[in-house]
Structure formats: structure tokens, C-alpha cells
Amino acid sequence: MKRQVGAKNKAEVNRPHQSEGDVNFSERRRNWSKDNIDAPSRELLLRDENAFLHQSVSTPCLNTIKGAEGAYIIDGQGRRYLDFHGNNVHHIGYGHPKLKAAITKQMEDLSFAPRRFTCEPAVALAEKLIDISPGDLGKVLFATGGSDAIEMALKVARAKTGRFKTISFWDAFHGAGFGASSVGGEQLFRGQAIGPLLPGTEHVAPFACYRCPYGYEVNAEGEPDLSVCKTTCANMIKYVLEKEGNVAAVIAEPARAVPYNPPKGFWQAIRQACNDAGALLIFDEIPTGLGKTGRMFACDHDDVVPDILVMGKALGGGILPIAATLCHPDLDVLGDYAIGHYTHEKNPVTTRAALTTIEIIEEEGLVENAATVGQYALDRMQDMKSRYDLIGDVRGRGFLLGIDLVKDRVTKEGANDAAEEILYRAFDKGLSFKTTMGNVLTLTPPLITTKEQMDFAMDILEDAIADVSRQSRA
């Protein structure tokens, strides 16, 4: 029997909550599209829509892109946007000349390494990652994407501990694969339509001081009073580790992408709790690694070394896909099995891209730039917060920044509509970013962003926030 046109499938009935703000369908998006997309782009968008499976935060797309250079993207209509999103792949800027030259040369010298063969760039990259990573992480595996690298970490943790349970955060994202979605906490990736996920993947409420799931309030500076809350979010993990028993690993992003910084002492407490429970600690640094937060790794801020650190995204310099799982040498326990022997495991071109990317980050002092210009941006955001009630909180570190918009500073109800309006106004002025949880303007500039570019972005945001605030008062 043919499927009836118009009949709802199961996925349509169980629509998930949107944890990402700029959804595929909204009145404002339709209007923006009507006013801004020319005929050739419209045609390409239609072909895209017809050819790809539709999925949240992707297809149907908003616009077409025809250029990406430095900190900028150029859309199908030729408009330039300072890209404060870039999926966190663009640390060194798009199309860095040194990276393009290194990739081109590598393609000419050696373009692939089949099974049983290793090559210089793959080994050199493994050694370099061991060198720059915190503590005594000393063994590496490569994959082509972050989700796969997370799943390799889960397999290693299971093998080392002989256990299978994990503890992770609601609202976290660790990738789209089945294992990664199981430890992830976003309905978009694990909703009812997907069916059963991995067993034993327990979730707890995350640290989120401004909107503490345990109900504690922050002070006027947006800081938690730890003498009152007693870091309940950390205690809950300790509690679940004990009650569940036999947990293989706690897996989390050390700085959450919403963004949220951990409260002081949080990760030290979790490190100790994991040690006490015989569980491993896995840090997902896929967006934050290589300098995003103004230190080489976000966990460097907390002085905590995980047993496994996972990186990806910017590792390929914004051109090639590569991710890595770095483990403590004691975790080298699965020699008789294939943990993640992916086709492109030791690809000379992707590993050359990663090596060169790290070289560029070091040579150009990009981690330091993220720290300095990021602090400058945070100061400007604090100043805006002192003048606009629409802003409930500003937070972040380095170039992982967020402006949390509220309808009311007491109830903290998210100002989703205002956030979406500001997003499209910013597009009009040449700034691209994304909203998270519907109401947080989430800014993740490339590490090459200058103070002047940051001022350009902050001016656009401030104008839009001022306008939208005025309108909501009128």
C-alpha cells in the first residue's frame, strides 16, 4: 500500500523541543529570506531542499555560500559576514594560505596511507598532540569526525574499566552517532523518533549557574555563592556515581557550549569523585580545544587532567575533517580489537592539515589573542548588560561568549523572540552567529579576530539590542 500524502509519520508527531534557536521554520526567517535571497540562490536552495533529507538546524537551508576567507563568509548574493559561528572549525580563519600550501604539497607527496602503513605526518601529529595536551595523556587515535572520536573514547573506557555505564549532562551535545547521541542530552539528537539508545547512559542536570537547575541564585555579578549552593551540581554527580555503582566514565564538555563556565572547584571535585569511584573522566574538547577559551584547552583553566580528551573541528584547520582521542597510556588495553580503525585513520593529508593548523596557532599567538580580545569583548558585554534590562547575563571565556536575553530579570524567562530578531538584524549588518537554547546569543569568533573586528560585532549587537529594547518598551 502506498503511503498516503499528508499522513503524519512518527517523527512528525513527536516533534522535539528546539535546543538550537534559529530554527528551520519561523515567520522571521521566511521574511528575511523573501527580502534577501536572489533568484539563483533561491534555485540552489530548492535543489538542496529536494535532494537532501530534511533535518533540524540544517535542511532546508537559510542561504547559499560562495566564499569563505579569513574571518568572513560571503553569501550567494555577494554579501560579506563576519563569521562568529563557523561551527567552531575556523580558529585560524578560512583558507589560511600556509595551510592551503601545506595541504597541496602533501597531496603531491603522499595522498593516502592504506591499512598496515604509517606515514610521517600521522606520527608527527600524534606526537605533537601528546606534547601540547595537559598532564600525561600519551596515546592517540584519529577519526574523521568528533562523534566517532567520542565513541572511541567510550569503547576504551568500557574496556579499561570492564564497566559500561556513563554519566553525562542533559543538554550536552557529543555528536550525532548512536553512542554519541546516547551520552548527549539534546532531544534533537535522541528524541522518541530515534528509538532506544545505549543502555546505562545516565544523565544529570549540568552546571548552569545563571539558570541553576537546582534553584540557586547568582549574585549581582552573575557569580554563584558556593558557600550557599555548596556546588550541588558536583555533589549530584558524586551521588549518582555512588548510587549507580560500576560507572565506566563521566563524560562532559569542560566549558559548556551554551556557554557556561564551570563553578570554581567543580572539575577538581569531579576528578576526585571519579578517582574514588574507579570511573574515568572524559573531556569533550571538540569545540573548545586548540585555544577557543583563551587557553590551549578549556580544562587548563581548571587545572584538571582527564583520562581521555577528545578533540576535532578546528583540528583540520577549517578545511579537512579530522578528530582525535587522546588517552592516558594506561588505557592502551585493546590491542587485539579494532577500536576505531577508520578508513582515513592515518591519512597523510588530514594529519598534515592538523599539524600545520597547530603550527599556525602557535606561530600567530592565536590562543593569547583569544584570551585578550575575548576579555575585551566580555567587558563590552558587561557594559551593555549594565544599560539594557533585556540582557540577563553575559558570560564565557576567550572566544566562547554568550549574551543571555530575558523578558524579565527576576523571572529570567528567555527572550527568544528578541534573540531571533537580533540574529536577523545582525545578518543585515554583516555579522553571523547563532542562538542557543532559543535566547542566548552565542558568539564563537575565529581566533584571528582583531579588536577592530570585535568592535564592529559589538557595535552591531549593541545597536540591535538597543532597538529591540526600545520596541519592547513602546
By the criterion CB under 6 A, which residues form the site for ligand PLP? 145-147, 150, 173-175, 253, 257, 284, 286-287, 312, 323
The answer to whether the CB of 170 falls within 8 A of the CB of 206 is yes
Instruction: Give the dihedral of Cα atoms 77, 83, 85, 87; nearest 10 deg.
Output: 80
Neighbour tally for 351: CB within 10 Å: 29
Work out the angle at residue 415's Cα, subtended by the Cα atoms of residues 294 and 233, and round it to the nearest 5 degrees: 55
Q: How far is the CB of 220 from ligand PLP (least distance, A)?
A: 31
Judged by CB, which is closer to ligand PLP: 298, or 419? 298
Which amino acid is it at 341? Answer: H
Judged by CB, which is closer to ligand PLP: 319, or 458? 319
CA 313 vs CA 15, 19, 107, 248, 449: distances in Å? 28, 21, 21, 26, 18
Judged by CB, which is closer to ligand PLP: 312, or 374? 312
Cell numbers for 58: 540544517
Judged by CB, which is closer to ligand PLP: 251, or 465? 251
Q: How far is the CB of 190 from ligand PLP (least distance, A)?
A: 14
Tell me the C-alpha distance between 294 and 288, whole Å: 9
The answer to whether the CB of 460 falls within 8 A of the CB of 431 is yes
Q: Which residues contact 101 (CB under 8 A, 6 or more apart)?
A: none
Q: Which residues contact 394 (CB under 8 A, 6 or more apart)?
A: 222, 378, 381, 382, 384, 385, 401, 402, 403, 404
Q: How far is the CB of 402 from ligand PLP (least distance, A)?
A: 14
Q: What are phi and psi of 259, to 5 degrees?
A: -95, 160
Q: How far is the CB of 313 from ligand PLP (least distance, A)?
A: 6
DSSP H helix total and E strand total for the chain: 15, 15
Judged by CB, which is closer to ligand PLP: 32, or 267? 267
The answer to whether the CB of 461 falls within 8 A of the CB of 469 is no
- DSSP track, 125-162: HHHHHHHHSSTT--EEEEESSHHHHHHHHHHHHHHHHT
Q: How far is the CB of 470 from ligand PLP (least distance, A)?
A: 35
Q: How far is the CB of 240 from ligand PLP (least distance, A)?
A: 21
Q: How far is the CB of 437 from ligand PLP (least distance, A)?
A: 14
Judged by CB, which is closer to ligand PLP: 286, or 354? 286
Judged by CB, which is closer to ligand PLP: 133, or 147? 147
Judged by CB, which is closer to ligand PLP: 20, or 364? 20
CA 333 vs CA 234, 278, 402, 412: distances in Å? 30, 16, 40, 48
Q: How far is the CB of 272 from ligand PLP (least distance, A)?
A: 24
Which residue's C-beta sits nearest to ligand PLP?
146
Which amino acid is it at 3? Answer: R
Q: How far is the CB of 173 from ligand PLP (least distance, A)?
A: 5
Find the helix or strand (DSSP H, E) in which 283 lies. strand 280-284
Judged by CB, which is closer to ligand PLP: 76, or 306? 306
Instruction: Name the residue among 422, 432, 402, 434 with its Cα closest to residue 462.
Output: 422
Q: How far is the CB of 182 from ligand PLP (least distance, A)?
A: 13
Judged by CB, which is closer to ligand PLP: 251, or 415? 251
